[in-house]
Structure 1
Amino acid sequence: MSDLALRSDLGYLEDAFTWARKRALDWVRTSTAAGNLPSYWAGYPSRPMFYSRDVCHQAVGAHLLGLDAENFAMLRHFARSATPARKWYPLWAFHFDGSIADLDYHGDEHFVREIPAVFDLTYRALGQYGWTGDRRWIDDPDLAAYYLRSVDDFVAEHDSDGDGIPESSGTGDIFLGTATYNEQDAEHPLLVAGDGLATQYGALLALAKVADGNDRKRFLKRAEQLQTDFLASWWDASKARFARGRSKNGLDFGWGLEATWFVPMLGLSGTGERNELFLDYLETQLAEHPPANIEAFTYLPEVFFRHRRDESAWRWLRHVIDSRDVYPEISFTVVEHLVAGLLGLVPDAASASLTVDSHLPAEIGWLEVDHIRVGDWDLRITSHGRQSIEITVYSGPGPLRVSIGSSGPWTAVDPGRTARLTPGETARLTPGKTAGLTPSDEARP
């Protein structure tokens, strides 16, 4: 387990973190029974299982809490379950000993399956490579095979019209396969949904980041084509929004919950005026027609942090925190949003780099998080509103390149030193020199 700790001038934040950290760690099942996989609870509290969608969404919080072994074991277990007989769908749920959850599986032709889960697994597993730098995430044979099959074999198996996008059964029956994570929409089933398309786009970009040569070009080209076609075909200017999906009757511009908000969350809607109008629509719909299930809200901070609507992200994060719901996804994602979300962390441990971009709302003056693990680096990061960010590297295998924002300056930060970085300024360090550093005689352990 990690020593992750949080301090802030806002006591509410500290209380929320303390609750979420303890609650999430209470869900760990690794040593609670003989034969258990390294695992944690990920699904309804009434069901002793871990679900694909939930594990994907809990994985960042789990990493921050030191549960890398659990993330690897569970995500690989799902990858192994995607077989030709199951038409390359991973299974939906397992018990902690790795056995199939019969509740969601009645045979290889009749089990719960939702298209976004196929690509979400690839996207989130490769995200763990970004956090850990652990080459098992790209070299493990089962995971490596799954990544390729998710974007190649799965698509070929389910793409009936040859447009490079897999279609669902169109029945709305989750045991026959649906297009979306939005299970509330069985009365208006989609063939293709925004969240399926967005996760496919995210998976292709994630693969391009770790691939070489022709594969990298191939994945990038496919991702770019998906986005180009989406931006050109799924927009309705009179409605000022993108469609939530495509049914047998054509594009559907209704409110799609996950099918709507996954699109900006994963960047499929790009940037600019259309994206901003779409986010306006999303905010209006959330206010007027919020989801019925609390776990659906756990995605919203990620959506709005990505597009710098930090006050909106904070509003929905507070909503999730205030629920104190026992659903495991709540506590794990609260940890993620309080740390990675508010601090704007984008790690690339394999390249010894980290981007930090403060998303503190007006209500929070400063936030300090201790013992953030990025690969083998142990960090303390303090954000003073939007004015400055202070980074301490307690330990690590060498220099860590840190950037402020997506286009900010780079600096090398040596273990035991604290660099106080102001947007627009650059601190460059070389051995024996401390230019640009705030003195830190001994980094606090």
Structure 2
Amino acid sequence: MLALSSDNPVVEDAFGWARKRALDWVQTGAAPGNLPSYWAGYPSRAMFYSRDVCHQATGAHLLGLDAENFAMFRHFARSATPARKWYPLWAFHFDGRIAALDYHHDEHFVREIPAVFDLTYRALEQYDWTGDRRWLDDPDLAAYYRHSVGEFVDAHDADGDGVPEASGTGDIFVGTATYNEREAPLVVAGDGLALQYAVLRKLGRHDEAGRIQARFLDDWWNGEWFARGRTKDGLDFGWGLESHWFVPLFGLSGTGERNERFLDYLEKRLDEQPPENIEAFSYLPEVFFRHRRDESAWRWIRHLIDSRDDYPEVSFTVVQHLVAGLLGLVPDAAAASLIVDSHLPAAIGRLTADHVRVGEWDLRISQEARHTTEITVHSGPGPLTVTVGATGPHILEPGRTARVSTQSKDNS
């Protein structure tokens, strides 16, 4: 079982709570007919939702819930039909029945553009973690990936620019452009656009992704920050929450001065007008880790920890942030490789995660501040190539340990 230890007692206590609470949400075998599944949505609704499953999947993998991830992602994939114009359904009960609360008929059900791409992106991310070929070869999943960037886009791209549009009504049963249901009615939103860009890159379609990014960088900048989206009347530069922070989360805003200014804007607005719902905060550590704003990432991890909120997304993502986030894990199980790149803030001097699964490898990863990483391969099918920070690759056979110093004159 995944374990975590640290010189910071807050980390150890939080991990113990999050691991137990997340595993308590597992519904596999809890009732006759249940799919392998876990609770993903409001605690008051016995269901799993597409957005929540996408964001809980990494934490679920770390906790050994690969069968649950696969079954739920495939169930969503199967629900995207021509009659539904290639939108997946929004929620299911644990036995696989459609959640009637969010579905009335094939032309009137909750649907949000980011979820279409999110499912593809996060499913392929599970392939990175597991190396399980089913994530690529399963007919339902493989068809879904194709449709999400093919038929779905064609069915909803009225202006022919390669980007799907929503109705602009803000009605979730007609379809919205953004995950933030409290926003003004957008036709295209930053979160949907960022996820489409990320999926195209994940699928190796770099030219298409590059065109989307180039138009975004050229057109959506007002000199101070990026627009959250476009309404029928033009670009909307109001504060957008998910439609804003998904942009740097998935790399749409690129790197460099403009991106840093945008991150400054996000930090300022989060202080002035934070989100009302706790699950929205659960993305923020990922945003700031990606751009090496590690103290900001730790601030929002602490916010989630201190909330002890019972929304399942909180416990699952706290597991993710404390392990994959703080250690900077980037797996490629199919290639037998792993990147480890410390994101420990000043408040954490030591962090050790044991029984981290990357494909068939069982690992112990220990980080001392920013200067020393120790990796032990407990077991595995062969050598694992581990790259630590900017150091060269280290090839570790099962049963071996490597201790790598990243100390330099610049960071001593």
* Residue in 1 that maps onto 2:360: 376
Distance in 2, Cα, partners of 1:220 & 1:266: 14
In structure 2, the residue corresponding to 1:106 is in which secondary structure? strand
More displaced 10-residue stretch of structure 1: 396-405 or 176-185? 396-405
Distance in 1, Cα, partners of 2:344 & 2:298: 8
In structure 1, the residue corresponding to 2:34 is in which secondary structure? coil
* Residue in 2 that maps onto 1:207: 203
Deviation at 1:423, TM superposition (A): 2.6
Runs (4 or more) in structure 1 with deviation over 6 Å come to none
Please tell me whether the aligned partners of residues 113 and 176 of structure 1 are also in contact (alpha carbons under 8 angstroms): yes
In structure 2, the residue corresponding to 1:290 is in which secondary structure? coil
* Residue in 2 that maps onto 1:263: 247
Q: Which residue of the other structure, out of 387, 390, 395, is the alignment partner of 2:374?
A: 390
Are 2:139 and 1:141 aligned?
yes
Gap regions ≥5 residues in structure 1: 209-218, 426-445
When normalised by structure 1's length, the TM-score is 0.91
Q: Which amino acid aligns with 1:195?
A: D
When normalised by structure 2's length, the TM-score is 0.98
Distance in 2, Cα, partners of 1:424 & 1:270: 28
Distance in 1, Cα, partners of 2:144 & 2:248: 25
1:194-219, Cα deviation, whole Å (9 max, x unpaired): 000001011111222xxxxxxxxxx1
In structure 1, the residue corresponding to 2:177 is in which secondary structure? coil
Identity %: 74
Distance in 2, Cα, partners of 1:403 & 1:184: 42
Q: Which amino acid aligns with 1:173?
A: D
Q: Which residue of the other structure, out of 294, 299, 302, is the alignment partner of 2:286?
A: 302
* Residue in 2 that maps onto 1:235: 221
Please tell me whether the aligned partners of residues 408 and 424 of structure 1 are also in contact (alpha carbons under 8 angstroms): no
Q: Which residue of the other structure, out of 35, 38, 57, is the alignment partner of 1:37?
A: 35
Distance in 2, Cα, partners of 1:227 & 1:203: 12
Deviation at 1:424, TM superposition (A): 7.6
* Residue in 2 that maps onto 1:441: none
Residues 33-432 of structure 1: pairs in structure 2 closer than 5 A: 33-185=31-183, 188-208=184-204, 219-237=205-223, 240-405=224-389, 407-423=390-406
Distance in 2, Cα, partners of 1:221 & 1:158: 21
Please tell me whether the aligned partners of residues 409 and 423 of structure 1 are also in contact (alpha carbons under 8 angstroms): no
Q: Which residue of the other structure, out of 8, 21, 24, is the alignment partner of 2:22?
A: 24
Going from structure 1 to structure 2, the CA distance change for 1:423 and 1:69 (only over 3 Å counts) comes to same
Distance in 2, Cα, partners of 1:206 & 1:36: 32
More displaced 10-residue stretch of structure 1: 409-418 or 253-262? 409-418
Gap regions ≥5 residues in structure 2: none
Distance in 2, Cα, partners of 1:119 & 1:168: 14
* Residue in 2 that maps onto 1:440: none
Deviation at 1:408, TM superposition (A): 3.6
The count of aligned residue pairs is 408
Deviation at 1:54, TM superposition (A): 0.1
RMSD after superposition: 0.9
